Amino acid sequence: MSTRPEDSNPAYDDRSTTRAVPIHHHPSASAGPDTSAWGLDTVLAHVGTGTDPATGAITTPIHLSTAFGHPGLRQSTGYDYTRTASPTRDVLQDALARLDGGAASFVTSSGMAAIQLAVETLAPFGSRIVALEDLYGGTFRYLQVLAEAGAYEVDFVYGQQALAEALSRPAALVLIETPTNPMMECYDVAATARLAREAGALLAVDNTFYTPAILRPLDEGADVAIYSATKYLGGHNDVMAGVVTVADPALGERLQYRLNTTGATLGPFDSFLLLRGLKTLSLRMARHEANAKEVVAFLQASPHVTRVLYPGHSGMVSFDLAEDVDIATFLESVRVFTFAESLGGVESLVTCPSVQTHADVPPATRARYGLTDRLLRLSIGIEDPSDLVDDLRQAFETGTRH
Ligand SMILES: *Cc1c(COP(=O)(O)O)cnc(C)c1O
């Protein structure tokens, strides 16, 4: 139980856009056994255990209550109102911060809400943002909307060289993905972090494709890691969420203030689903990657494929379909894969970025970075790899114009 000064309740204090409030942690974060020496798989399997001493529940309780009773005037149990802090969400945020080695994580109602939270909190309005041109289509669209409204000066760049040139001028924020979506271009996070620092900018890395099981951007010198948790972190195509993790506690305090003010927090049930998904993250990532490597080997040997893009890790693969295969027939013929626009779940999906995820990227821009109308993106699931390969083989055959 804590007693706080009258004006410290962030739920009612919106006087300034740059105010900070203390990062909120679940009480179990400072209780229980010392787990600091645990390896990743142990940390993941135990996400949320031991958080309810009253019952000894193995998994995290879903606290649906939006309001929490106060023991007395100016007293709080630590929880007042769910937008400000929720016990279920706190357990999740603490786990995510630990996974990335950050000071604090914030979970939001979608990946786009996470990107909005990070951009609008960390880059002052009017400042300059440098972003990759081949970011996720929704992120590109959002930054364009901001630029058109005059909220920011946004420079889109393609490739490490252009990124370095753009950072010879001061900026407030650099936003990259590695690997990029769907071109699988990889960026050196440590080198980019140095360039960003010289330009006076914070570096934010959208790590949706690799997750902390493969890459921990903060360890490489990035200031912010961002996730669409709808993808691998959740992993089961059943929860929409986003994550912002920061290394610097002072940035965390600003994000906490802003998230409470703007309100796109994650609800308790979705927080629970994400906690549940996280427990198997490294198992799933290992299987996604092993399956992807088998599919890549098949695609590279196939006469129906003209280009294969695979960054070497995780389960995302892009390829160009040769002219002899009708793309619509191919997409209608898959049986193990589902033609759908998302990624990172246990079920394999196939996406056509030019008409789905990247439809809002101007065709000239797409053409410049090589996103053709014949490029398909696979999210490789955890099925038997031979079933995945057989499915692609039969769909190529069915789609071939004879
Ligand atoms: C899906 C995705 C997003 C957006 O996340 P939502 O959860 O769909 O809002 C952002 N970045 C990347 C790399 C994505 O794949």
Report the share of the chain in percent with pLDDT over 70: 96
Gap between the Cα atoms of 401 and 397, Å rounded: 9
Cα of 395 vs centre of ligand 1, distance in Å, is 28
Provide the pLDDT for residue 369: 85
Max Cα–Cα distance, the chain, nearest Å:
79
pLDDT single digits (tens) 115-126: 999 999 999 999
This prediction has a pTM of: 0.93
Mean pLDDT within 238-264: 97
Measure CA of the first residue to CA of the last residue in the chain; give whole Å: 74
Q: Are 136 and 179 in contact (CB under 8 A)?
A: no
> What are the pocket residues of ligand 1 if the criterion is a CB atom closer than 6 Å to any ligand atom?
110-112, 136, 138-139, 177, 181, 206, 208, 228, 230-231, 240, 242
Mean residue pLDDT across the chain: 93
Reported confidence tier of residue 29, pLDDT bands at 50, 70, 90: confident
In the annotation, is 136 catalytic? yes
265 beta partners: 108
Residue in the block written with tokens 């927080």: 271
| Candidate of 208, 274, 342 to mutate for ligand 1, largest count of ligand atoms within 8 Å of Cβ | 208
User: Among the options 100, 128, 136, 152, which is catalytic?
Assistant: 136
Tell the residue nearest (CA) to atom 2 of ligand 1. 228
In the annotation, is 34 catalytic? no
pLDDT single digits (tens) 133-152: 989 989 999 999 999 999 99
pLDDT at 155 over 80: yes
Reported confidence tier of residue 10, pLDDT bands at 50, 70, 90: very low
In the annotation, is 231 catalytic? yes
pLDDT single digits (tens) 190-215: 999 999 999 999 999 999 999 999 99
- In 3D space, the residue among 63, 67, 83, 106 whose CA is nearest the CA of residue 255 turns out to be 106
pLDDT single digits (tens) 52-107: 988 999 999 999 999 999 999 999 999 999 999 999 999 999 999 999 999 999 99
- In 3D space, the residue among 227, 228, 241, 232 whose CA is nearest the CA of residue 272 turns out to be 241
Reported confidence tier of residue 367, pLDDT bands at 50, 70, 90: confident
| Candidate of 110, 134, 136, 143 to mutate for ligand 1, largest count of ligand atoms within 8 Å of Cβ | 136
Gap between the Cα atoms of 52 and 30, Å rounded: 13
- The enclosing H or E element of 349 equals strand 349-351
Tell the residue nearest (CA) to atom 1 of ligand 1. 228
User: Among the options 80, 206, 270, 391, which is catalytic?
Assistant: 206
Provide the pLDDT for residue 17: 52
For the CA of 177, the nearest atom of ligand 1: 13
- In 3D space, the residue among 207, 203, 185 whose CA is nearest the CA of residue 194 turns out to be 203
Give the list of residues 6+ apart from residue 215 with CB closer than 8 angstroms, or none. Answer: 178, 189, 207
For residue 150, give both structure tokens.
């005059």
Residue 216 backbone phi and psi in degrees, to 5:
-115, 95
Q: Are 89 and 63 in contact (CB under 8 A)?
A: no
In the annotation, is 206 catalytic? yes
Mean pLDDT within 228-239: 98
Mean pLDDT within 20-31: 88
pLDDT single digits (tens) 314-366: 999 999 999 999 999 999 999 999 999 999 999 999 999 988 888 888 888 88
Mean pLDDT within 272-280: 98
What the chain holds in terms of domains, given with CATH numbers, is: 27-281 (3.40.640.10), 282-399 (3.90.1150.10)
pLDDT at 5 over 50: no
Tell the residue nearest (CA) to atom 9 of ligand 1. 111
Cα of 115 vs centre of ligand 1, distance in Å, is 9
pLDDT at 2 over 60: no
Tell the residue nearest (CA) to atom 5 of ligand 1. 111
Q: Are 137 and 357 in contact (CB under 8 A)?
A: yes
- In 3D space, the residue among 352, 351, 371 whose CA is nearest the CA of residue 361 turns out to be 371
For the CA of 241, the nearest atom of ligand 1: 7
For the CA of 135, the nearest atom of ligand 1: 13
Cα of 357 vs centre of ligand 1, distance in Å, is 10
Cα of 111 vs centre of ligand 1, distance in Å, is 5
